[in-house]
Amino acid sequence: MQLWFRLILYFLKLPFQQKLTDMLSKSVVRLRVLPGDIDMNLHLTNSRYLAMMDYGRVDHMSRTKLGKAIFRNKWTPLANHATVRFRRELPFWEPFRLESKIVYWTEEASVMEQRFIFTKGPKKDIVAATGLVRISMYDRAQKAFVPTATVLSETDTPYRAPMLQPHIEAFLKEEKAIQAYERKSAGIAPVDTLEIPAAENDLSTAETRKHG
Residue 150 burial class via C-beta count within 10 angstroms: exposed 0-12, middle 13-18, buried 19 and up:
buried
Q: What percent of the chain has pLDDT over 70?
A: 83
How many folded domains does the chain comprise?
1
* Contact yes or no for 131/123 (Cβ under 8 A): no
CATH number, domain at 37? 3.10.129.10
Give CA–CA dist 76/141, Å, rounded.
10
Measured from the Cβ of residue 23, the count of other Cβ atoms closer than 10 Å reads: 22
Looking at residue 13, its pLDDT comes to 72
Give CA–CA dist 122/174, Å, rounded.
35
- Mean of per-residue pLDDT scores for the chain: 87
pTM: 0.85
Q: What is the pLDDT of residues 108-162, one digit of tens each?
A: 999 999 999 999 999 999 999 999 999 999 999 999 999 999 999 999 887 776 8
Angle between helices 2-13 and 46-63 (to 10 degrees): 20
Which structural domain range is residue 9 located in?
2-210
